[in-house]
């Protein structure tokens, strides 16, 4: 077997071994994952409310937005009903709103779309992501900006601890 052919066989074997032995790689990876409480501390707006509608699921089962009936504003200001967009919908960092249904009680740490820096909004065009300026946004990142409540009682206990 010639040197070139032997080199090819060795390279092909190494590539096959690597492909079979490597664990699944994720495009979204984080060094540390901020908790919901970390997100609340850093957010400009924190809302508690009930999901009234799920936006278009144009990324498989990952909705790009939800509509929220605001029951309480813990930080910042918001209207009684708001649309919250998920910057990570459809990406490897997405899935935040996937398990939500109308009626689900949630708390969200968000920002206004108009408060997002230009560098980030420039990336939205290739993603075909265009949240209206008056809406709110869950930022793409490694944190957990959403807390779901299994019951109104659980939500009320959580709110009581926040006072």
SS3 letters across the chain: CCHHHHHHHHHHHHHHHHHHHCCCCCCCCCCCCCCHHHHHHHCCEEEEEEEEEECCCCECCECCEEEEEEEEEEECCCCCEEEEEECCCCCCCCCCCCCCCCCCEEEEEEEEHHHCCHHHHHCCCCCCCCCCCCCEEECCCCCCCEEEECCHHHHHHHHHHHC
Would you tell me which CATH number, out of the four given (2.40.50, 1.20.120, 2.30.29, 2.60.40), belongs to the domain 36-162? 2.40.50
Query: What is the reported pLDDT for 31?
Result: 64
Residue with token string 């996937």 = 98
Measured CA to CA, the distance from residue 69 to residue 98 in angstroms comes to 18
The domain ranges of the chain are 36-162
**What is the chain's Cα-based Rg?**
21
Please list the pLDDT of the chain residue by residue as tens digits (163 residues).
554 444 333 433 333 333 333 333 335 566 678 889 999 988 899 999 999 999 988 777 889 999 999 999 999 999 999 999 998 887 777 888 999 999 999 999 999 999 988 878 888 888 888 899 999 999 877 788 999 999 999 999 999 988 7
- For residue 148, the cross-strand partners are 106
């Amino acid at each position: 077997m010639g040197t070139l052919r032997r080199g090819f066989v060795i390279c092909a074997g190494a590539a096959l071994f690597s492909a079979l032995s490597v664990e699944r790689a994720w495009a979204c990876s984080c060094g540390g994952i901020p908790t919901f409480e970390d997100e609340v501390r850093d957010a400009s707006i924190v809302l508690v409310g009930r999901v009234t509608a799920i936006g278009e699921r144009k990324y498989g089962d990952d909705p790009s937005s939800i509509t929220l009936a605001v029951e309480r504003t813990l930080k910042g200001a918001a209207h009684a009903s708001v649309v919250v967009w998920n910057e990570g919908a459809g990406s490897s960092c997405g899935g935040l709103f996937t398990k939500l249904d109308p009626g689900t009680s949630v708390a969200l740490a968000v920002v206004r779309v108009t408060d997002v820096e230009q560098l980030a909004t420039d990336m939205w065009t290739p993603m075909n992501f265009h949240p209206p300026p008056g809406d709110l946004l869950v930022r793409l990142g490694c944190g957990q900006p959403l807390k779901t409540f299994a019951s109104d009682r659980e939500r009320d206990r959580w709110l009581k601890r926040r006072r």
